[in-house]
Structure 1
Amino acid sequence: MKPSPDLFEPASELHWPQVRAWLQADPAHLVEDRALLEELGLKTTGPNVVDFGRAALTRLEAVVEREAGARKQIEAVARANFAAQTQTHVAILDLMEARNHSDLARRLDASVQGRFGLTSAAIAIEKPGAAPFGWRLLEAGGVDSLLGDDGLAWLGPVFPGLNLFGALEDEVRSVALVRMNPHLPGEDMPRPAICAFGSPEPEGFTPDMGCELAAFIARVVERMIERWPAPGA
């Protein structure tokens, strides 16, 4: 009979095929070493029999714990999304009570502060033409300069020269800008505009975020703008 390899020789290099062959030839070294079995989470239930139940149960418990943690995280995200959607719907109902362009801008600003914890919100529209009281007036091409020629929205850190939030500009750390193109009654063509949201947190708006809720509010504002004639019309 071929002798089992001596794994304890100083010059020996351990490799799994050798270790496996050694255990097959000398199983007693494993099954009789209770301290090692305890460290491995194993126990013997009879001659040459090793019970892997404890080790398997430990692995199963770890899997269950990971799955429970992931489920809790998903549930927390779902609750946060539901709360945000609910607040958005309530904010929309408030915007629909606006009586004119200026009241619309005031309600938008108050809603995002009270319901989403943002610093401010603003409506800006391009020249030519006047802007209602409480709005910001942009030079022609100002929307494209902020969003790009084909850009519909931009989320990220605030940048110098934005000038959309008035006295609260210095408190804004990140912004969401959404393109609008309202057609005011009494004007020949739609005018490029922006619905802007400012957050006090640097990570309040980031480029990898979705902007569905901000875009939804902007679409409602865009339609509301078209309810009243343009200033001076």
Structure 2
Amino acid sequence: MDGAEARADDITLEAEVRRFLVEHPGLVRDDPSLLSELGLKPADNVVEFGHAALARVHAAHKHEASIRQQLEATARENYAAQGQTHGAVIDLLESRNHADLARRVDDLAQLRFGLLAGVVALEGPENTPAGWRVLVEGQVDMILGGHQRLHAMGFSPTALGLFGERAELVRSMAMVRLAIWEPARQGLIAFASADPEGFTPDMGAELVVFLARVVERTAERWPVL
């Protein structure tokens, strides 16, 4: 066989191999080891997979960044709220009497926390301290929604009367039960916000409860005359 015939046979073989591969593309495409040995990869599949993978990675990164930003914002807000709460405690402890205590509760609500109002209320028409709201017996249970409820967050129509002329602006409240003196008298500390999302039922009430306990201990310094 001369050179011309050999080249003709090679061309024929190449054509047959090409035809066979076209008719059976999976033979190479679905064989990772063969692809690796040949230094090839199925371009169409890789391109399509690459776009999808990059899209998923990008979406996951955006989601992770969003969650991280939310956590950082929440941490900053909690830190700021705790700082304001600590400052509020000092203000409350400096109260000179019951009336001054009630005034300071309202001041810290507005000036420190940007709320509409802060009030202190006590059940019983007799011997109610000056500046405190007067509640009838059992009204604390009614406002909080039961005698076992220690606090309530959100909007409660039954609590609007606590806020006097500012009641029409109230869209949400944070309220905590008080028990002051011996025998204990039932009371309430309440904060009002003009924002419907200012206080919501799913919010933690720890800081408000903490302030309520400070008010209880401070109020017990003086007898009710």
| 1:182 to 2:180 alignment | yes
Where is the helix percentage greater, Structure 1 or Structure 2? Answer: 2
Residue in structure 1 matched with residue 211 of structure 2 by the alignment: 217
8 Å CA contact retained: 1:27, 1:48: no
CA deviations 1:5-35 (Å, max 9, x no partner) are: xxxxxxxxxxxxxxxxxx994359x9xxxxx
CA deviations 1:16-67 (Å, max 9, x no partner) are: xxxxxxx994359x9xxxxxxxxxxxxxx95454446844444333322321
Q: Which amino acid aligns with 1:165?
A: F
Residue in structure 2 matched with residue 26 of structure 1 by the alignment: 25
Alpha-carbon offset, residue 169 of structure 1: 1.7
Residue in structure 2 matched with residue 131 of structure 1 by the alignment: 128
Residue in structure 1 matched with residue 18 of structure 2 by the alignment: none
RMSD: 2.5
Whole-angstrom CA distance in 2 between matches of 1:78 and 1:91: 20
Say which SS state the counterpart of residue 133 (structure 1) adopts. coil
CA deviations 1:107-157 (Å, max 9, x no partner) are: 110001011111001011011532111101111111122221111011121
Say which SS state the counterpart of residue 155 (structure 1) adopts. strand
Gaps of 5+ in 2: 1-21, 30-37
Percent identity of the aligned residues? 47
| 1:116 to 2:120 alignment | no
Q: Which amino acid aligns with 2:25?
A: D
Change (3 A) 1:194 1:229: same
CA deviations 1:137-183 (Å, max 9, x no partner) are: 11111112222111101112141564111221222111111001011
**More displaced stretch, 211-220 vs 124-133:** 124-133
Counterpart among 165, 168, 171 of residue 166 in structure 2: 168
Residue in structure 1 matched with residue 153 of structure 2 by the alignment: 155
Gaps of 5+ in 1: 1-22, 31-44
Whole-angstrom CA distance in 1 between matches of 2:23 and 2:72: 49
| 1:203 to 2:201 alignment | no
Whole-angstrom CA distance in 2 between matches of 1:205 and 1:85: 16
Whole-angstrom CA distance in 1 between matches of 2:147 and 2:122: 16
CA deviations 1:178-210 (Å, max 9, x no partner) are: 001011xxxx51100000111111221121211
| 1:191 to 2:185 alignment | yes
Whole-angstrom CA distance in 1 between matches of 2:59 and 2:155: 40
Matches within 5 A, 1:32-181: 47-50=40-43, 51=46, 54-55=50-51, 56-127=53-124, 129-147=126-144, 148-160=146-158, 162-181=160-179
Residue in structure 2 matched with residue 5 of structure 1 by the alignment: none
Structure of greater Rg:
2
8 Å CA contact retained: 2:178, 2:188: yes
Runs of 4+ in 1 over 6 A off after TM superposition: none
Whole-angstrom CA distance in 2 between matches of 1:63 and 1:24: 40
8 Å CA contact retained: 2:142, 2:158: no
8 Å CA contact retained: 1:130, 1:137: no
Whole-angstrom CA distance in 1 between matches of 2:40 and 2:79: 59
